[in-house]
């Protein structure tokens, strides 16, 4: 598929969009089956040293009350996730250096020895030695969205950071043996269908195991508060094209998609997605992890959230998978 053909499909509507998503659903069924993998998301700190223009956790957002979970609280939350049947926990935070390389390594090895669950990290750009230390401590996966593949747009949205370093981090993570996830934010100001097409080609070139992508939802306490935000329809097309281009990918129907459209998660499952990440952050903290407004999970309890997500899987006529739910490509690599 050429860049132009991809760009056209990204903005497809009506029958063309329906056909695209149906084809992605067929590829999903043929490649990874009906299983839907649930990952327990623990947002353990909302401190961040970065100042991304679109994000409610940005350093200069002084209106946000900040929190950090103690290492024991994080391990307890992981144990609770496993007790609820989760085979993977995702430890997510802003870029918070209070969690030194060694401190986070200790948390990872404690979770691994107590639960045996797969551990995915989503803690941003850190030093190569820290990525290595965490891998040695037992971390299995790393999620680092590239946000946009356009270097100039990237530089505008991420003061002091560069796309080049982002990609370098992703390559290092891959070399260290992590299952690596990346993905764009959809609907950023000045983002064109051609840039989104480049995002897809970048995911393919990086040979990622997972891709997370959701519509941009403007956050009121940021410089992009009055921006338009991303389209759920384009997000569904992007999910479908990702599934078609990288058939064995682990592809979440994201919280942002669910927030921006009624039954967005269900629509995502029908457009190629095979992962959902229920929010298991203790509720006294979850309401403060405000990447964007309107997140559903903090308003309901953890048990209720898990029930809700299981209901979405059932509505899609799919099955909740058990176990860690590794990427099929990663499993092939170790056999
Ligand atoms: S997007 Fe990530 S790195 Fe950027 S401000 Fe938000 S939490 Fe920090």
Of the candidates 179, 225, 187, the residue with the CA atom closest to the CA atom of residue 324: 179
- Asked whether the CA dihedral 44, 47, 52, 56 is positive or negative, the reply is positive
Question: pLDDT at position 19, please?
Answer: 98
What is the model's pLDDT at position 298? 67
CA distance 132 to 99: 15
CA-nearest residue for atom 4, ligand 1, is 52
In this prediction, residue 31 carries a pLDDT of 97
The yes-or-no verdict on residue 60 having pLDDT over 90 is yes
pLDDT per position as a tens digit, 89-113: 999 999 999 999 999 999 999 999 9
**Cβ proximity of 281 and 41 under 8 Å:** yes
The reported pLDDT for the residue numbered 319 is 96
* Phi, psi for residue 57 in degrees, rounded to 5: -90, 0
Taking only Cα atoms into account, the Rg of the chain, rounded to an integer number of angstroms, comes to 18
Residues in the chain, total: 335
Beta strands across the sheet bearing 118-122: 40-45, 88-93, 118-122, 141-143, 179-182, 210-211
- Please identify, by atom number, the ligand 1 atom nearest to the C-alpha of residue 51: 5
Give the C-alpha separation, 312 to 318, whole Å.
9
Distance of CA 298 from the midpoint of ligand 1 (Å): 19
Task: Tell me the CA–centroid distance for residue 51 and ligand 1, in Å.
Answer: 7
> Which tens digit of pLDDT belongs to each residue from 6-28?
999 999 999 999 999 999 999 99
User: Which is the closest atom of ligand 1 to the Cα of 55?
Assistant: 6
Q: What is the pLDDT of residue 210?
A: 98
The pLDDT of residue 300 is: 87
Q: Closest residue (by CA) to atom 3 of ligand 1? A: 50
Higher-scoring residue by pLDDT: 147, 298: 147
Pocket test for ligand 1, best of 94, 96, 123 (most atoms within 8 A of CB): 94
pLDDT at 128: 98
Quick one: pLDDT at residue 310?
97
Tokens of 302: 């953890």
**Buried b vs exposed e over 275-310: b needs ≥16 C-beta within 10 Å?**
bbbbbbbbeebbebbbbbeebebbeeebeebbebbb
Q: pLDDT grade, residue 331 (50/70/90)?
A: confident
Pairing of strands 118-122, 179-182: unpaired
Mean of pLDDT values over 216-235 = 95
CB of 27 closer than 8 Å to CB of 273: no
* Per-residue confidence band for 330, with pLDDT thresholds at 50, 70 and 90: confident
Residue having the nearest C-alpha atom to atom 5 of ligand 1: 58
- pTM comes to 0.96
Q: What number is the average pLDDT over the span 162-188?
A: 98
pLDDT-based confidence at 170, cuts 50/70/90? very high
Confidence of residue 122 (pLDDT cuts 50, 70, 90): very high
Per-chain mean pLDDT for the chain:
95
- DSSP lists the bridge partners of residue 182 as 211
- The rounded Å distance from CA 249 to ligand 1 centre is 24
Q: Are 224 and 53 in contact (CB under 8 A)?
A: yes
CA 76 to ligand 1 center in whole angstroms? 25
Instruction: Say how far apart CA 17 and CA 239 lie, in whole Å.
Output: 11
What integer pLDDT is reported at residue 1 of this predicted model? 82
Residues with CB under 6 A from ligand 1: 48, 50, 52, 55, 57-58, 94-95, 124
Q: How confident is the model at residue 293 (pLDDT cuts 50, 70, 90)?
A: confident
Architecture of domain 3-334: Alpha-Beta Barrel (3.20)
Q: Where do the H-state alpha helices sit in the chain?
A: 3-10, 14-32, 71-83, 101-115, 128-137, 151-157, 163-175, 193-206, 232-245, 255-260, 264-269, 283-286, 302-315, 328-334
Could you report the per-residue pLDDT of 128-157, keeping only the tens digit for each? 999 999 999 999 999 999 999 999 999 999
Ligand 1 atom closest to the Cα of residue 124 is 3
Element (H, E) at 120: strand 118-122
Q: What angle do CA 200, 186, 202 make, to 5 degrees?
A: 20
Ligand 1 centroid–CA 58 distance in Å is 6
Q: Compute, in angstroms, the gap from residue 50 CA to the centroid of ligand 1.
A: 6
pLDDT at position 297 over 60? no
> Percent of the chain at pLDDT above 70?
99
Query: What's the rounded mean pLDDT across residues 124-131?
Result: 98
Atom of ligand 1 nearest to the CA of 94: 7
Per-residue pLDDT tens for 234-263? 999 999 999 999 999 999 999 899 999 999
Distance, CA 308 to ligand 1 centroid (Å)? 28
Alpha-carbon distances of 286 from 44, 68, 193, 211, rounded to whole Å: 9, 11, 33, 23
């Amino acid at each position: 598929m050429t860049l132009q053909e991809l760009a056209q499909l990204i903005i497809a509507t009506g029958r063309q969009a329906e056909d695209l998503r149906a084809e992605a659903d067929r590829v999903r069924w043929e490649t990874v089956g009906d299983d839907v993998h649930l990952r327990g998301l623990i947002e353990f700190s909302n401190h961040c040293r970065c100042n991304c223009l679109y994000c409610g956790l940005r350093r200069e957002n002084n209106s946000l009350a900040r929190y950090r979970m103690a290492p024991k609280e994080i391990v307890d939350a992981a144990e609770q996730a496993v007790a609820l049947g989760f085979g993977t926990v995702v430890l997510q935070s802003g870029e918070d250096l209070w969690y030194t390389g060694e401190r986070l390594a200790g948390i990872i090895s404690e979770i691994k020895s107590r639960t045996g669950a797969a551990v995915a990290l989503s803690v941003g750009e850190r030093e190569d030695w820290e990525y290595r230390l965490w891998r040695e401590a037992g971390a299995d996966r790393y999620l680092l969205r590239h946000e946009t593949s356009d270097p100039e747009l990237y530089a505008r949205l991420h003061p002091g950071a560069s796309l080049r370093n982002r990609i370098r981090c992703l390559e290092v993570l891959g070399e260290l043996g992590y299952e690596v996830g990346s993905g764009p934010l959809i609907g950023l100001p000045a983002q064109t269908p051609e840039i989104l097409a480049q995002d897809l080609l970048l995911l393919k070139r990086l040979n990622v195991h997972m891709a997370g992508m959701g519509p941009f939802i403007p956050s009121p306490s940021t410089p992009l508060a009055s921006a338009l935000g991303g389209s759920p329809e384009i997000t569904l097309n992007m999910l479908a094209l990702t599934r078609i281009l990288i058939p064995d990918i682990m592809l979440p129907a994201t919280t942002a998609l669910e927030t921006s459209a009624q039954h967005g998660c269900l629509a995502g499952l029908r457009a190629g997605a095979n992962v959902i990440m229920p929010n298991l952050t203790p509720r006294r903290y979850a309401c403060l992890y405000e990447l964007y407004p309107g997140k559903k999970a903090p308003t309901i309890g953890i048990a209720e959230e898990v029930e809700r997500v299981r209901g979405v899987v059932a509505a899609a006529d799919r099955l909740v998978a058990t176990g860690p739910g590794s990427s099929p490509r990663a499993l092939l690599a170790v056999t």
